[in-house]
């Protein structure tokens, strides 16, 4: 599986930066997954329960 650079940032700091194969995240409009080659985008995440 292909990898890509993933950066997770908050307004305060960089939370994670590294090479990943896939990212699954809880978005405010529903969960979503990102694979290599996905179009770049910015979204809001749902807070953890």
The pLDDT tens digits for 26-46 are 999 999 999 999 888 888 889
From the list 13, 30, 17, 25, the residue with the least C-alpha distance to 4 is 17
* pTM higher than 0.75: no
* Cα distance between residue 28 and residue 10, in whole Å: 15
Has residue 5 got a pLDDT over 80? yes
Local structure of residue 45 (DSSP, 8 states): B
- What is the pLDDT of the chain when averaged over all its residues? 91
């Amino acid at each position: 599986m292909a990898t890509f650079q993933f950066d997770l940032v908050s307004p305060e700091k960089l939370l994670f930066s590294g090479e990943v194969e896939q990212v699954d995240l809880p978005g405010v409009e529903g969960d979503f997954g990102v694979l290599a080659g996905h179009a770049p985008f910015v979204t809001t995440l749902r807070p953890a329960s």
